[in-house]
Structure 1
Amino acid sequence: MADSRQGSPNPSSPGAGVPVSRLPERGRVLCHGYIESVTYVPADQSPAFTAILSDAEVPHPGAKPVDGKGGRLRVVWLGRRKVPGIDAGTEVRVEGMLTQSHGLPTIFNPRYEILSRQEHE
């Protein structure tokens, strides 16, 4: 997703997307959140890279969201084993068709923009 504005986008600005907790049931959506976790599939399975987005910032990889509030969104890139830049703690904006899959709102093959990355010590 290209953004013509200079500098770091403000997630609360118009066009930044809705928080994960305010997503509708279905339809085309633009939302922002933090990568809570990623899942890698074994080499003997079909390639798919899955990440869970939440509203709350994750203090460090593997930790649960800070405030425990908000929704969760699964994003799945089919045919890929890794998506560069998508790691726990990364703030992203995603766009795509929202559906329900296995009890979680899910977007398959979303467009995405990395807004900020967590520094690792």
Structure 2
Amino acid sequence: MADKAARPAAAHGGPASVPLTELPVRGRVDCTGFIESVTYQPANEQAHFSAIVVDRIAHRGDTGPLTRLRVIWLGRRKVPGIEPGTVLRLEGMVTPRDGMPTMFNPRYEILSRQEHQ
């Protein structure tokens, strides 16, 4: 994660799109990535749903490091369509949390889903 300021806003008034490899330490961003994993919380814990978003899907033999972004939806136990393999466009504020860039309650758009066979 580079120590950079957020990029300037795009022409539509929102943040400019950045690759996950260029996320600022803090700031509003628009980015795209693949859901690597999701975490469901037990019913006796505070409701939130989280996912790890990566810059690419790792394949066998791929030794390059993955860039990860934790995404957390507060007050929800599940977000429809958010599952491993899904490609998302996310928009929100990035902040460091427990050593990982994290985005809370982002706006999102599902771009594609991995087909299950």
Shorter-chain-normalised TM-score: which range?
Answer: 0.7 to 0.9
- Pair 1:98 & 2:94 matched: yes
* 3-state DSSP of counterpart to 1:21: helix
TM-score (norm 2): 0.80
Question: Residues 32, 48 of structure 1: CA spacing in aligned structure 2 closer, same or farther, 3 A cutoff?
Answer: same
* Aligned positions, number: 100
State the one-letter code of the partner of 1:76: I
**2:67 matches 1:71:** yes
Q: Which runs of 5+ in 1 are unaligned?
A: 1-14, 58-64
| Root-mean-square deviation (Å) | 1.5
Instruction: Give TM-score scaled by structure 1 length.
Output: 0.78
Residue matched to 1:40: 40
Call closer, same or farther: CA 1:17–1:70 in 2, change over 3 Å. Answer: farther
1:88 aligned to 77, 84, 87, which one? 84
Q: 1:18 Cα deviation (Å)?
A: 1.8
1:17 offset after TM fit, Å? Answer: 2.3
Local SS of the residue matching 1:18: coil
Write the deviation string for residues 49-95 of structure 1: whole angstroms up to 9, x where unpaired.
000000112xxxxxxx2334331000000000000000000000100
Tell whether 2:115 aligns with 1:119: yes
Structure 1 segments, 4+ long, off by >4 Å, are none
Corresponding letter in the other structure for 1:44: N
